[in-house]
Structure 1
Amino acid sequence: MQDKPTRLGRGLAALIGDMAPIETAPRQADTGSGVRRLPVEFVIASRANPRKDFDAELLEDLTNSIREKGVMQPLLVRPSDQGPDVYEIIAGERRWRAAQRAGLHEVPVIIREVDDKEALELAIIENVQRADLNPLEEAQGYGQLIEQFSYTQQDLAQVIGKSRSHVANTLRLLRLPREVQTMLEAGELTAGHARTLITSDDPLALARRIVDAGLSVREAEALHQQDSDSRREPGTVRERGSAPSKDADTLALERQLSDALGLSVTLDHKDRGGKLEIRYKTLEQLDAVCSKLMSH
């Protein structure tokens, strides 16, 4: 397990960085390391691609570009079990779709012999690095790797080149109510909004207020903090005339520190100093924080 994350962690660019000149392939394309051309009907979509939705406007822009200049970056494909001349896309499905819309009969490809596990890893890596998966699709992709191939969150973080806390927080999106997930899929809520929702006691109610009022991420964080303050036990609620609620910059800093550590962080800042509180639940979490603090 340790060797694969190290190798794949360099990303898809490491596999296709040194590309041979594009040349025309015979009908039975070989599986060498260079770039070949395949008829578009020889290529099929991947069943495991974490991307499910393709933005129509962006796809049309890519179609126009391909119609004028061709497919500039080859697709990464592997032999399919559906026939000797059939190849399944590992990465590049949007380019393949746009090429068909542009009327191209062939597309450039790089053929790799990889198993289901590595194909799924590469598909997720490319999509994550391109930053065009919606947050829920990203979470579903991570969930596939963990469920099907027994990855730990740390292994997965190494594979995709993200922090463990990023992986953990992204996976928590899968526990949000289905209605909230639909808002994420539709783009009504951003990844920044989602990070606020996963720590909310009532994510659906907060999501509806964010969408209805068109709140920014900082405004949503401030609203979440106000809701949290109002739910505190008697005796902990701020008394009238005391210090005001935290400003947006302080809330944003708390969120950044929480994301970096993967733990709940509270910052109480005053004119002459303040207090930074990091809350953990297990000794493993405490060890992780201590290791990070002592490594600098």
Structure 2
Amino acid sequence: MKVLVTGAGGFIGRALCQTLLAHGDEVLGLVRSGSRSIPGLQSIPMALDNAPLLAKTLNGVEFVVHLAGRAHQLADRAADPLAEFRAVNCDATLGVARQAAVAGVKRFIFISSIGVNGNNNVRPFTVSDQPNPAEPYALSKWEAEQGLWQIQQETGMELVIVRPPLVYGPNAPGNFGSLSRWVCKGIPLPLGAIHNKRSLVGIDNLVDLIIRCINHPAAANQLFLAGDGEDLSTTKLLRGVGKAMGKPARLIPVPAGLLQFGATLLGKSAMAQRLLGSLQVDISKTCELLDWKPPYTVEEGLRRCFERSK
């Protein structure tokens, strides 16, 4: 099969392209100029709004996996963050989808975010929950989802939307990467008494799910939530990271309420929520409809993560 992956030079994109190529598929990758090459990948440096080149690139493509986008920013310095997110995550996404439909692409797979459901919960999110995006990044993803469903109805091109929670893996960006570096350096962290529950998804599990969404007939015109199928606290995650690294996680048992109070005083409430709050994901529909099971446990995923990052 012939697959076009946008954002092929990113954290998820590189892993997906490498796996597809290993399966013997023909893979085209849209990348930013200067991105590191991937052996065997037909890399195409281009902006998503380059309509003539995109139309040429889409010729003969059966499946598009759309990963390109403006990532969540912990310290966003844009004058209007929502406008910046909308321009890339919504408007550019819909432009690519429209051209894919015109080119006769069979299926468009959009990687959204669990943030569309919300930032925290007291029970696991499901696909039937009312969306509640609380930040500009998640709102732009939700708006893109709505536009994509409209394109699907107008054109008949099959659509699959996947909402993953935090993705971890070798050299992962964001909070996971920062926490891992702190554990590796032996820096004491005041996170030894956190009893929240959070769903994560390892990069290998997410790539496996995306490929199932490309291939499985039942994936057409469906929304799926992604995850490892295990929920764990921030404290347990950090201990797992330390175990996978072969290093002790130096965790100080500070009450979560005290940490939240301090974070609020310092203007770091959003960061504290990601470390202290709960966010669980119900992947039962994903597993049942696609006959899918995450191939790796969290423990196995963390071990693979740090084996490959050495």
TM-score of the two chains, using structure 1 as the length reference? 0.26
- Larger RCO of the pair (alpha carbons < 8 Å, separation 6+): 2
- The structure where helix makes up a greater share of residues is 1
TM-score of the two chains, using structure 2 as the length reference? 0.25
